[in-house]
Amino acid sequence: MIDLRSDTVTRPSQAMLAAMTAAETGDDVWGDDPTVIKLQATLAERTGKEAGLFFPSGTQSNLAALMAHCARGDEYVVGQHAHTYKYEGGGAAVLGSIQPQPIENASDGSLPLDKIAAAIKPIDNHFARTRLLALENTIGGKVLPASYVAQATQLARDRGLATHLDGARVFNAAVASDKPVGELCAPFDSVSICFSKGLGAPVGSVLVGSKALIEVASRWRKVLGGGMRQSGVLAAACLHALDHHVDGLARDHDNAAHLAAGLAQIDGLEVQSLATNMVFARIPDAHCASLEAFLKERGILTQMLYASRFVTHRDVSRDDIDAVIRAMKDYFAR
């Protein structure tokens, strides 16, 4: 099957599995796993932060970060379409007693500065204490403009807020904008990075930030059930991805652009081509179910449930993309 539902569907390669098999391990709850320690240190260095912490998922990494920045009754400012707000089960509120203050994202994924400023509450017993600004890069496949990130994080600092980046796909953003990942992480106090998306590891996210913040996040990780034992087996997959899979993201981005160009030739199909590994097409509601079924017959998996999104990744080739374009053309020619 050609699976374009998400870049989370990537499977570990033989070389990655070999690296996992060869990993030196120890009990990481005791701080004894050399491979986890190496991954955390490597990420900290690559992102220009003091420390890193390995998590089983990006959801838990984001949540532990939010809980490290905000206490009960505190508030974080976040996009209406941000993953931490919309797609993580409301964990900040449910498990962290943190009030989200969502702001409608602009079409480029940013949160308008005037709206951020207006959402920050005065220090007064009536209000939750606004503690944190959380951004996401990439967001919906879009790279946040660097000048915007600089302004938004400066505004946050000026108002005494900490800053967190949900950088699940920050390596995609770095490759697409041809900048070192450290440059994209520099404006933020903490960044959460996923290895289980386009980087192709089966499991794993790393949170980076100051030593003090990571210490607090480490306690929350244990409380949330994320303390893992011989997790060097998993960290080895992430280290392998860092060494071998980052450059390949450019090919995923090229494939997405190629797919967008092909789909744009279809009459009446509105296609949004982004700089990274996602293509969005506005499929008329009446067609969603039948198109999904038609593509499945052709060996193509998509999900048109909450967005007609096609995601390219290391397990789809240029030939696969051409097959998808042909199938889409055939469907709409009927």
Ligand X SMILES: *Cc1c(COP(=O)(O)O)cnc(C)c1O
CA 253 to chain centroid, in Å, comes to 15
Q: Least distance to ligand X from the beta carbon of 88, Å?
A: 7
The stretches of 48-90 forming alpha helices (DSSP H) are 58-69, 83-86
Give 254-280 as a 3 state SS string: HHHHHHHHHHHCCCCCEEEECCCCEEE
168 binds ligand X (CB under 6 A): yes
| Among the residue ranges 19-27, 51-59, 179-187, 232-240, the one whose residues contact ligand X (CB under 6 A) | 51-59
Nearer to ligand X (CB atom), residue 25 or residue 62: 62
Residue 156: both structure tokens together: 């946050």
CA 147 to chain centroid, in Å, comes to 20
Q: Least distance to ligand X from the beta carbon of 7, Å?
A: 9
Q: Which of 46, 49, 69, 83 binds ligand X (CB under 6 A)?
A: 83
311 binds ligand X (CB under 6 A): no
Q: Which of 28, 33, 75, 166 binds ligand X (CB under 6 A)?
A: 166
**Which residue's Cβ lies closest to ligand X?**
58
Q: Least distance to ligand X from the beta carbon of 75, Å?
A: 20
| Among the residue ranges 23-31, 54-62, 145-153, 281-289, the one whose residues contact ligand X (CB under 6 A) | 54-62
Amino acid present at 231? S
Q: Least distance to ligand X from the beta carbon of 110, Å?
A: 15
58 binds ligand X (CB under 6 A): yes
Residue 228: both structure tokens together: 């893992």
CB 8 within 8 A of CB 228: no
CB 177 within 8 A of CB 35: no
CA 74 to chain centroid, in Å, comes to 24
CA distance 103 to 78: 6
Residue 53: both structure tokens together: 């912490």
- Closest C-alpha to 139, from 194, 180, 82: 82
Q: Which of 3, 28, 75, 136 binds ligand X (CB under 6 A)?
A: 136
Show Cβ contacts of residue 247 under 8 Å, excluding neighbours closer than 6 positions: 175
Nearer to ligand X (CB atom), residue 172 or residue 308: 172
CB atoms under 10 Å from CB of 265, counted, come to 12
Binding mask 197-236 for ligand X (x = CB under 6 A): x-------x-------------------------------
Nearer to ligand X (CB atom), residue 226 or residue 232: 226
Q: Least distance to ligand X from the beta carbon of 194, Å?
A: 5
Nearer to ligand X (CB atom), residue 168 or residue 217: 168
44 binds ligand X (CB under 6 A): no
Contact set with ligand X (CB under 6 A): 57-59, 62, 83, 136, 166, 168, 194, 196-197, 205
